[in-house]
Structure 1
């Protein structure tokens, strides 16, 4: 197993986020197989299991609040259709964030109606002051990027947050807003690096300035995280975190490969694999 590679000296503002030795246990949405995803219930459990970081998603309400929520539509998780973006914070606060959660394939819904709600980012930052957060800005909206940056700066949390987005434009938008935060590669930038690694090419033509490679283990028939890809990113001083891995055998194989972190819905299983 390899430790997290430190960023190059010109990336000094991000060094604090990456200073924790690896391999990391990163709880995907707090560990969504164990508790309602992206809720304080899930985050508390992940922390109790020894998570090194939480992977969370954020959206902006109609009145400008940043809340922790993944889906475009609220129906799957809360039982009520609609969007976060069309609701005020007060309206979001009335949603049951545990409505759809089941630990047993739908046989039971143990936390439905128990008052589990969608948390704000400010609540999460305040509740876990020493914990690292990997934050995915879901929509490609400038207003979300600006609101997210305000919340992180207000909490003084730049040194313990890694920010990014699936969308390359949003990821680039966040860079000048949060110069002290680590940033993970968005889709197109990551694809460029992976294709360069698999073809044995240098990285000169790929976007630079990113600090973490958050990659899927596989995409269809393609094994994305393989020795060539890990070697490529480690050669650039960029740690590799792999999502979303819930099988203990697969976890062990990836750790043997030298990945620096695993993002999982089963932090309990990964903790066991890591000997915690």
Structure 2
């Protein structure tokens, strides 16, 4: 009896191995998709950062002139190799969608109050560089340089025809998702499927309105990851992993069944994009985008998933060289 148990266990282990063997997966062409978080922006110190803390007063000494979520920063991101630029939107009282990260105006601008409780006509008068300081308030290097630079979502799409954007819907209400859907349709701003994320309510609502959309939420990503870790050995792709984002922390890849080729192939077949992030156990939130080129050195030359990038101006050119040269050398 023990002999049969051992043989059965061995056969099961072999079957699981072959089911998830990356080297047996189909080799598909492609290159990594670079997602530039906020475009090119002023990065900041995350040490002891609270969820609602102002980040404009924590920026490092500026190394470039770009401010997040502006047309200039988006252009710079595309120039650096971004395939998709992530941006943040708030509905406004006059029917627009303002492209701006913060829930309130107090941190970055001279204005005050909740962003979505103002009209776009007013938001256009603000200086979005007003609050930035790298030395505790002694100097404000961008003050006076950001007046009128907060764009509308329509301006973004009109200025970058054919480019791809990932929209972060800051408002968590179902009506916000419906309003965004109408806004995009009435102004005919999309040439392809919508790419967006927000809370679970907005994700579900947009999925009903746009079945072909690429959508995710914090909840869907968590459900996808945990369920795949439990069931992925069988080749099963959980529903939460379909038509959205699948997070692959750079220190967790060993635990993702079929990593890299088989795993990516499964998610692509399910309509999803694998996104590599940086995992830092002692950092606020645990996971963030890629800041340094060396953080992607663990990826194989033929990796074709996505990279969530914080400093596209340095990571973009490095990734282009790495994956182009290494892929050529492996031929």
Report TM bin, short chain: 0.7 to 0.9
Equivalence for 1:171: 203
Where structure 2 has 5 or more consecutive residues not aligned to the other structure, the ranges are 1-21, 23-28, 43-63, 278-288, 322-331
Higher mean Cα deviation, 117-126 or 196-205?
196-205
Equivalence for 1:7: none
Higher mean Cα deviation, 85-94 or 251-260?
251-260
Equivalence for 1:66: 97
SS for the counterpart of 1:71 is coil
Q: With structure 1 as the length reference, what TM-score do the two structures score?
A: 0.78
Structure 1 segment 112-127 matched on structure 2, within 5 A: 112-114=143-145, 115-127=147-159
- C-alpha distance 129-107 of structure 1, shift in aligned 2 (>3 A): farther
Q: Does 1:55 align with 2:86?
A: yes
Q: With structure 2 as the length reference, what TM-score do the two structures score?
A: 0.66
Deviations 1:83-135 (A, max 9, x none): 11111111111221122346899786443212252110000010000110111
Q: Does 1:186 align with 2:220?
A: no
Equivalence for 1:94: 125
**What is the RMSD of the two structures over their aligned residues, measured on CA atoms?**
3.0
The count of aligned residue pairs is 251
Asked if structure 1 preserves the Cα contact closer than 8 Å seen for 2:228 and 2:238, the reply is: no
Asked if structure 1 preserves the Cα contact closer than 8 Å seen for 2:35 and 2:84, the reply is: yes
Asked if structure 1 preserves the Cα contact closer than 8 Å seen for 2:124 and 2:148, the reply is: no
Equivalence for 1:32: 41
Where structure 1 has 5 or more consecutive residues not aligned to the other structure, the ranges are 3-19
CA separation in 1, counterparts of 2:248 and 2:122? 34
**Deviation, structure 1 residue 74:** 1.6
- C-alpha distance 158-79 of structure 1, shift in aligned 2 (>3 A): same
CA separation in 1, counterparts of 2:139 and 2:82? 26
Equivalence for 2:195: 162
Higher-RCO chain (CA-CA 8 Å, sequence separation at least 6): 1
Asked if structure 1 preserves the Cα contact closer than 8 Å seen for 2:125 and 2:148, the reply is: no
Equivalence for 2:244: 211
Q: Does 1:149 align with 2:181?
A: yes
- C-alpha distance 65-113 of structure 1, shift in aligned 2 (>3 A): same
